[in-house]
Structure 1
Amino acid sequence: MHRDDVSWSGYWPAAPTPFTADGALDEDAWRALLRLYHRQGVHGVLVNGSTGEWFSQSPAERRRVAEIAVQELSGRVPVVVGVTAYTPAEAVEFARHAAGAGADGVLATPPPYVHPGAEEIHAFYAEVSGATDLPFMVYNWPRGVAADISAHPGLARRLADLPQVVAIKDSTGDWPRMLDTVEAVSDRVRVFGSFLHRRGLAALLELGGDGNIDGGGVGAPFAVPYYEAVARRDAATARTWADRYAVLSGGLIRPDYSGIHASPIPQLKAAMALLGQPGGHVRPPLLPVTDAGTIQAIGDVLARAGLTAAPATEQVTEQAAEPATDGRAEVRA
């Protein structure tokens, strides 16, 4: 396969998986969130990625999350299913299920925790990507798995040469190193990285790159029109949306992808609750954001970005009231 065998580009949320306050998978909220993404005009959706808390789901839940996503979005936007696991055999089983469910592609990081070397990473991806006919996205996520593909010279190019690999999601946190990946492989595979800022715009217009896969999708009101302006080569409009997105992202996420006010996923779900979006609750080992001052700080960032908060802060603090399942952020000029 080649990058031109898929149309993957633009702004994709890495979708959180909504759970109820008592920890159950909230299928109704999950469907509502997927429908919200479609209304927002996102260009693709990643499910069961890091933001989707795959690590706290049972195998049956991971399969169910994937099935619902395909049911809701099939034929509308690409649905790529995360199949990250500790062994290639586990990842292969999830990939085969995704293929049977009708997903448009699959994604995996290198195996977490085990610190694999370059040859082990290559062998893992060769086995998992070759297990189905689906297009495959390599996910470089050193903060989460303690292995950085871009730190191994030539490894990204070798992975791009695997028959089913059509994309790399490079979340290294080292922006110049991400650009090295773009230069090395963007003629062969799609590259999703950190492009939602003025420097990223310059890279997209002159060097290469295809999109962002962003935790949660709260930035969709800015990021969707940004990428649509990029597609038109309308740099002036894209810069305006990039600057607005920067207010939001700069107030919530550090350059290494850690959260400013809390762990990234609890912080995200608190922001979604403030916006009336159906993000649901986190599961242990993560803990919900309940401190009123922290919630206020998150709300202040949303307000500075021009996003309208819907439910009362007190409801979010209690983590008991369910946000409106059709809530969507309104952008204030």
Structure 2
Amino acid sequence: MHPLKGVWNILATPFQPDGEIDERSLNRLLESVIAAGVDGITVLGVAGEAQKLNQAERRRVLELTAAASNGRAPMCCGVSQDGTRVAVEMAQEAAAAGAVAVMVAPPTFLQPGPALTAHLRNIGEEAGLTVVLQDFPPVNGVTLTPAQLAQLADAVPAIQTIKLEGLPTPQRVAETLALTGDAVTVLGGLSGNFLFDELRRGAAGTMNGFAFAEVLVRIWQAWRAGDVDSAAATYFHYLPLLATEAQPGISIAVRKHLLQLRGLIDHSFVRRPGPELHEGVKRDLADTVRRLGALDAFPVPDLQEART
């Protein structure tokens, strides 16, 4: 088990207009993310609409991701569930598919205590993988203080990485690392909206599904090389797009529309119930992308076609 660092892209799940999984688009998206130079791929997260997939669909998405990423990018798999037994089974399936880590958020409204510690410990021990503890209060209603995050990491050896998405993330990164030292790495999220400040406070990268993964890779690589000015310049140039995609309630819809604009998926359909973008908002997104020169800066390379 090893801590995660760098840029980990949370994969969107493309759907056809009838709501079925679009495997051709999924493979095209996978190829583009790998070509972007990410440090890893996270599949079946909230941003991948995992909660809207049945068991067979989850397994199929995991299978396709494993086939595409094998040997080229390590894979992390979201296994957040309210039941320990279900989460353990999903984590074991992820391990069998070749995942190196699982991302786990606390079960809904399960506050810090012996039950949460046991839940996380069981997942880590049964799967034998790195556990990425996801702190994401808006989704599960559980707020973990830096002290509680540090206590969980100390009590559960499998927790090697903490993904912080409770605001204010830069300050919480600093406070958490002050308690954990180098025992864990801390990654940001939230579409990379606060990435530069998270890096300045000690974050080891980010795990999110921003539609232009190349932007995050460029920021991270410049930062890692000690070129703070280049990292800052890239971040501040694309901040309007990062902020637009991070809007609560419509983030997934914005991301999918951007991925469609790039030609990486055929349809921007979000499974029901889900947000639908106003046509004017779609036009505004295209205009923002144009003004930033994002399509010219990051053209989509020739990609291997879908392997179904």
TM range (shorter): 0.7 to 0.9
* Equivalent of 1:285 in 245, 267, 273: 273
Structure 2 CA distance, aligned partners of 1:198 and 1:154? 24
* Equivalent of 1:84 in 61, 80, 86: 80
2:204: which partner in 1? Answer: 210
Q: Shift of the alpha carbon at 1:14?
A: 1.1
Distance 1:38 1:137, change over 3 A: same
Structure 2 CA distance, aligned partners of 1:136 and 1:235? 30
1:192-224 Cα offsets, whole Å, 9 max, x none, are 015755433422xxxx22111122x32323211
2:147: which partner in 1? Answer: 154
Structure 2 CA distance, aligned partners of 1:228 and 1:251? 23
* Equivalent of 1:227 in 220, 223, 230: 220
- Quick one: percent identity of the two aligned structures? 28
Distance 1:16 1:218, change over 3 A: same
Equivalent residue letter for 2:161: A
TM-score normalised to the size of structure 1? 0.82
Q: Shift of the alpha carbon at 1:279?
A: 6.7
* Equivalent of 2:258 in 271, 283, 291: 271
Structure 2 CA distance, aligned partners of 1:284 and 1:249? 25
Is contact 2:218–2:231 with CA below 8 Å preserved after alignment?
A: yes
Q: Secondary structure at the match of 1:63?
A: helix
What pairs up with 1:170-181 in 2 under 5 angstroms? 170-175=164-169, 176-181=171-176
* Equivalent of 2:163 in 169, 192, 202: 169
After alignment, is 174-183 or 62-71 more displaced? 174-183
**How big is the alpha-carbon RMSD for the aligned residues of Structure 1 and Structure 2?**
2.3
2:229: which partner in 1? Answer: 236
1:145: which partner in 2? Answer: 140
Distance 1:234 1:111, change over 3 A: same
How many residue pairs end up in the alignment? 294
1:69: which partner in 2? Answer: 65
1:281-323 Cα offsets, whole Å, 9 max, x none, are 211111433x3211112222222332229xxxxxxxxxxxxxx
Gaps of 5+ in 2: none
Is contact 2:173–2:198 with CA below 8 Å preserved after alignment?
A: no
1:116-157 Cα offsets, whole Å, 9 max, x none, are 12113222212222211111111111111111122xx63211
Residues 1:248 and 2:211 are matched in the alignment = no
TM-score normalised to the size of structure 2? 0.88
Equivalent residue letter for 2:46: S
Equivalent residue letter for 1:267: V
Structure 2 CA distance, aligned partners of 1:26 and 1:19? 5
1:91-127 Cα offsets, whole Å, 9 max, x none, are 1110010111111111111113xx1121132222122
* Equivalent of 1:34 in 13, 20, 30: 30
Is contact 1:136–1:166 with CA below 8 Å preserved after alignment?
A: yes
Q: Which has the higher contact order (CA 8 A, sep 6+)?
A: 2
* Equivalent of 1:132 in 121, 127, 130: 127
Q: Secondary structure at the match of 2:46?
A: coil
Q: Shift of the alpha carbon at 1:22?
A: 0.7
1:321: which partner in 2? Answer: none
Structure 2 CA distance, aligned partners of 1:81 and 1:197? 22
